[in-house]
Amino acid sequence: MTEAELKNYLQKAQLGSPDAFGFIYDHFAEKIYRFVYFRVGHKEIAEDILSDTFTKAWLKINQINAADALSGWLYQIAKNNIIDYYRLKKELVPLEEVEEILEDEASPVDATNLNLQQAKILQVLEQLSEDQQQVIKYRFFEDLTSEEIAYVMGKTEGAIRVLQHRAILRLKELLKKK
C-alpha cells in the first residue's frame, strides 16, 4: 500500500467507512499480531488482543491526523492492551515488572539457526542498558521502524536514534573485547 493510498483510507475511515478501515487492518494486522504474540506467547490470546487493538483504534480514529503516524499509534494501542492483559492476569505486579514480562514470553529470534557472530552478539547484548537492548530488539529482531519504536517506548524518534547509535557503539566495543 502506498503512502497516498494509506492516507486516503485513513480519511475515509475517519468519515465512518468500515471498509476503508478494513484495508488499514489488512495492511497492519500481521505486524501487530507478531508484536503481540511475542509478548503473550499464545495464539488465541494474541488474536483477541489484536481484535481489541483495532476496535479501540476505530473508536479513537479521529485522534490521528497523519497517516505516517498510524503504524506507531497502532503499536502503542497494542502495547497498552498487552499491559492491561497482564494487569488483569497479575493484578499485583508493578507496571515496571509487567513491562519486563512483555519481553519474556516468546523470543522473536530463532536461536537454533544463528551463525557464530550472531550468537556472540546475543550473548553480549545482555550487557547493554535496558533501553538500548529494547531498541536493538525492536529494530532488528522485529523490524520496527524508529517511529514505531518511539511510540512503543514513549520516547521521541530522536531519542530512539541516539539509543540505537549508542547501542551499536557499545555492542562493537563488547564484541571486540570478547
Subset of 130-169 contacting another protein (CB under 8 A): 136, 139-141, 143, 146, 161-162, 164-165, 168
**Cα–Cα distance for residue pair 58/28, rounded to 1 Å:** 14
- b/e map of 39-61 (b: 16 or more CB within 10 Å)? bbeeeebbeebbebbbeebeeeb
165 within 8 A of 119, measured Cβ to Cβ: no
Q: Is 42 in the site for another protein (CB under 8 A)?
A: yes
Segment interacting with another protein (CB under 8 A) among 36-44, 70-78, 94-102, 148-156: 36-44
Q: Is 106 in the site for another protein (CB under 8 A)?
A: yes
SS3 for 138-175, per residue? HHHHCCCCHHHHHHHHCCCHHHHHHHHHHHHHHHHHHH
One of 2, 96, 117, 178 touching another protein (CB under 8 A): 117
Q: Is 174 in the site for another protein (CB under 8 A)?
A: no
Q: What's the closest the beta carbon of residue 154 comes to another protein, in angstroms?
A: 20
User: What separation in angstroms does the CA of 119 have from each of 16, 108, 175?
Assistant: 49, 14, 11
Q: What's the closest the beta carbon of residue 2 comes to another protein, in angstroms?
A: 15
Q: Is 64 in the site for another protein (CB under 8 A)?
A: no
103 within 8 A of 137, measured Cβ to Cβ: yes
Q: Is 27 in the site for another protein (CB under 8 A)?
A: no
**Cα–Cα distance for residue pair 98/150, rounded to 1 Å:** 19
What DSSP state is assigned to residue 93?
Answer: S
Applying CB under 8 A, what is the total number of residues that bind another protein? 62
Residues of this chain that bind another protein (CB under 8 A): 14-16, 18, 21-22, 25-26, 29-30, 33-34, 37-38, 42-48, 50-52, 54-55, 58-62, 84-85, 88-89, 91-92, 106-110, 113-115, 117-118, 121, 136, 139-141, 143, 146, 161-162, 164-165, 168, 171-172, 175
